[in-house]
Chain A
């Protein structure tokens, strides 16, 4: 089933997905035990898990007959992208200011 690609912020914008991540931050869980915490259909739970998985927030590992969900690091990288983005933004803007003040204006 095709899932829309959501960025990290859209992924955690959903309260159910945030709760899933909270639960997984305490312990790795099978999809079944994760689903027990939610009052929603199993397909709905699967959809959220698929979104978390696609965005890199969780890993899914088959252990025996169970599918285990574990938190994964990649989802957090989006935050670093923001920091990088603004870091570069300020660096280039400050370069402008430097050129303007130090190179063009008389002291």
Chain B
């Protein structure tokens, strides 16, 4: 399953300026949300983005800084659940900054979605689905065929 979200934006500012907005909790709050983020690999923090009952999401995103290369790239895990301590969705958010035309190209890649740790199951199910539709068709054919011959 191609489960990736990608966004790309150009800023008329050097990577160091954009970087500040990605890694300084006070500046992050201005555009993203309040958090206890710290630009340190292994640091665990949370984002509160408001509950989404229809998706069984309590609104708290649990993150951990995975990789941090100043002015170049930043990634953190992005996990969430219904609020009972379990995690439904496990994913990774990656930011990449590239200097370009006196500015910065900012790339966001939100992917590596693991849902209930069962993505393999889902892949299996998607291919299985068509096969089984065929089986049903065959069963129906066999039944019709039998009736005709009876």
Contact = CB atoms under 8 A, between A and B. Distances in A.
A94 to B, nearest CB: 6
A22 B56 contact: no
Contacts, number: 118
Contact residues on B (Cβ < 8 Å of other chain), bracket: 35 or more
Interface residues of A, number: 44
Interface string B63-88: 00000000000000000001000101
A22 to B, nearest CB: 7
A77 to B, nearest CB: 11
A102 B127 CA distance: 46
Interface of B: 1, 3, 5, 7, 9, 11-13, 17-18, 21, 30-33, 49, 52, 54-56, 82, 86, 88-89, 108, 110, 113, 115-116, 118, 121-122, 124-129, 132-133, 135-136, 139-140, 143
